[in-house]
Amino acid sequence: MSSCRPLLVCGVLLACAAHPLWGQAERPSRGKGVRASGAGDSQGTRSGPQNSGTRQRGPRAPFVLTPAEQEELQRVLRAWESRAAKVKTFQADFTLRAYDGVFADGEEEPPPREYEGQLKYVAPDKGWFKVNSKPAEHWVCDGKAIYQFDYRKKQLIVRPLPEEMQGKAISEGPLPFVFGMEAEKLLARYYMRIVTPPDIEGEIWLEAYPKFREDAANFRKVDIILDAQDLLPYAIQLHEPNGKSRKSYAFRDPIVNDNLQFLKKFFESPRTPLGWQRVVEDMGTAEGSSTPPSADAPPKQAKGGSRQSR
């Protein structure tokens, strides 16, 4: 499943440092519904079956919800699930801000690196994502494979999806926070709570902490801000496992359920740019990936090697 991770960028990374609500990284923790507790997994046991299979449990619940808080959370997640089911196409511009807290001098966090980008999505399994950084970060998923453009190495890396993963909704991947997921599945997989500050209107703030080691290896927690009226993501912020670095995506000018014919061209299997190599990797290549494929990172060797062509 980890090679589907890029699809979820569509919806996962978040936040908006420019947004006055997130002037401080940990501000959401002071919102409503917070009952800090280092022990227990009571939210998980009350929120439905785990269906964990062979997945290993990760961190313990960082808080405990009262019955009233749990009921309100389930109401919001069910409404989000219902709204997400109606999203057939989505496109938006976003601002990405990357904070490298590991380089902080004392308590002062260094200024973030800031980039503009775009994402496009067609339900259930097509995604297009580009960050206008140097080098650019760009990937496409046509539902059958993920195509990563490595501008440093001039390689188009192709990761075919196995048949059992083709046609799967993006929400079935590692970070299902943009378009929502079934409420029961979310609560089985994450410790979640509502943390909307009391002085904020028109928004719903959520926190999600991973229950399983597989997800905990990718992020420590995720903050989500939804528009309270249409339940579309306004911002998403991903806190990395080191607890110091984070990336925030603030979405703007979203277009929902637009002309499908216009969008189709973005999800066609891309041609290899002139002078580039086309590198085909199998599913073993992306195992353990914690972020969307980055143009800065060299491609890993697939099991049995990669196939390269001009």
Closest by Cα among 53, 91, 83 to 262: 91
Find the DSSP H helices in the chain: 5-9, 42-46, 67-84, 183-189, 213-216, 260-264
Distance CA 246, CA 260 (A): 33
What's the pLDDT tens digit per position in 75-102? 999 999 998 888 888 899 999 999 987 6
Residue 209: per-residue pLDDT: 95
Asked if 187 and 47 count as a contact pair (C-beta separation under 8 A), the reply is yes
Residue 172: per-residue pLDDT: 60
Kindly state the average pLDDT of the residues 34-39. 33
What's the pLDDT tens digit per position in 206-228? 999 999 998 898 889 999 999 99
Residue 108: per-residue pLDDT: 74
Q: Where are the domains of the chain?
A: 2-196+208-228+249-309
DSSP annotation of 108: B
What's the pLDDT tens digit per position in 155-204? 999 999 888 777 766 556 555 676 667 899 899 999 999 999 999 999 99
CATH number of 2-196+208-228+249-309: 2.50.20.10
Give the side-chain half-sphere CA count within 13 A for 151.
12
> Is pLDDT above 90 for 32?
no
